[in-house]
């Protein structure tokens, strides 16, 4: 049983025929194939998915989950299957931001509680609160903010949908977040975790993860290089 949101393209979402599709859907399906089992997908809101893992309603959650120290205390994670760096996105002709330090005195936009908003504020930016990514890009493209911080893959996905958008990655952090599969801690999941790790490494070695990355993100996020 695989938990995911189903509302977060291109990781896990519904296509025009309402089929559940996405990078994580295909990754989970391929892992299940290698384990010789049939995947059963259950969709829900983010907080409920983690709670469902705790309660034993789901075996794993495949939903672009970053490994953080807090989550690692609570869950066991598979080996990472994707790497996600933070990008500072500006208009193409803006050369004033070449490092995170250059955000000092600049204006940015993000959802207020996000780690990206916190990071921008740490470097001295004034953050405008928005509801979603489209609002963020509207502010950026209309010149009302200097930059926005987001996941590198979010930028690639946006540019795939809006190839003519006047936007570029001005700064890319060296450290990538590791994206992996959380499951309950404990001996009963140790065998499952080992099998999933083996499946992920096989998919990395044979190019499956690279192929799926390029299909959904237009770039290879399966390696930290």
Confidence (pLDDT) at 174 = 84
Q: DSSP E strands: which ranges in the chain?
A: 2-4, 13-14, 20-21, 41-43, 60-61, 65-66, 75-77, 82-90, 107-110, 126-129, 148-151, 168-180, 182-184
Rounded to whole angstroms, how far apart are CA atoms 120 and 149? 7
Residue 145 token pair: 């903010």
Least confident of 24-33, 86-95, 151-160: 151-160
The pLDDT of residue 30 is above 90: yes
Cis, bond preceding 105 (omega within 30 deg of 0) = no
Q: What's the sign of the alpha-carbon dihedral 191, 197, 201, 203?
A: positive
Which helix (H) or strand (E) segment holds residue 118: the answer is helix 115-122
> Per residue in 133-148, pLDDT tens?
889 999 999 999 999 9
Measured CA distances, 55 to 18, 75, 183, 190 (Å): 28, 12, 11, 17
Residue 80 binned pLDDT confidence (cut-offs 50, 70, 90): very high
Confidence (pLDDT) at 40 = 98
Rounded to whole angstroms, how far apart are CA atoms 189 and 183? 7
Angle, vertex CA 111, rays to CA 81 and CA 126, nearest 5? 115
Q: Is 144 strand, coil or helix?
A: coil
- Sheet containing 41-43: give its strands across: 41-43, 2-4, 60-61
Confidence (pLDDT) at 31 = 98
> Per residue in 83-135, pLDDT tens?
989 999 999 999 999 999 999 999 999 887 677 888 899 999 999 998 888 89
Query: Which of 154, 116, 118, 107 is closest to 134 using CA atoms?
Result: 154
Confidence (pLDDT) at 113 = 65
Rounded to whole angstroms, how far apart are CA atoms 125 and 105? 5
> Per residue in 38-55, pLDDT tens?
999 999 987 789 889 989
Residue 165 binned pLDDT confidence (cut-offs 50, 70, 90): very high
Confidence (pLDDT) at 167 = 98
Rounded to whole angstroms, how far apart are CA atoms 195 and 183? 13
């Amino acid at each position: 049983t695989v938990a995911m949101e189903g509302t977060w393209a291109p990781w896990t979402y519904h296509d025009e025929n309402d089929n559940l599709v996405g990078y994580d859907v295909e990754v989970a399906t391929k892992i299940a194939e290698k384990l010789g089992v049939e995947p059963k997908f259950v969709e829900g809101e983010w907080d409920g998915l983690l709670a469902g893992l705790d309660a034993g309603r789901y075996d794993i959650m495949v939903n672009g989950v970053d490994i953080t120290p807090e989550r690692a205390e609570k869950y066991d994670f598979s080996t990472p299957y994707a790497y996600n760096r933070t990008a500072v996105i500006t208009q193409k002709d803006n050369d004033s931001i070449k490092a995170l330090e250059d955000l000092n005195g600049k204006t940015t936009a993000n959802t207020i509680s996000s780690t990206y908003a916190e990071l921008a504020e740490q470097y001295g930016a004034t953050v405008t609160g928005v509801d979603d990514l489209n609002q963020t890009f509207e502010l950026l493209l209309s010149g009302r903010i200097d930059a926005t911080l987001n996941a590198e893959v979010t930028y690639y996905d946006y540019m795939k949908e809006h190839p003519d958008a006047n936007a570029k990655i001005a700064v890319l952090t060296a450290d990538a977040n590791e994206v992996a599969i959380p499951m309950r801690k404990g001996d009963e999941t140790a065998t499952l975790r080992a099998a999933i790790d083996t499946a992920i490494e096989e998919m990395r070695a044979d190019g499956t993860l690279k192929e799926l990355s390029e299909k959904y993100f237009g770039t290879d996020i399966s390696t930290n290089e």
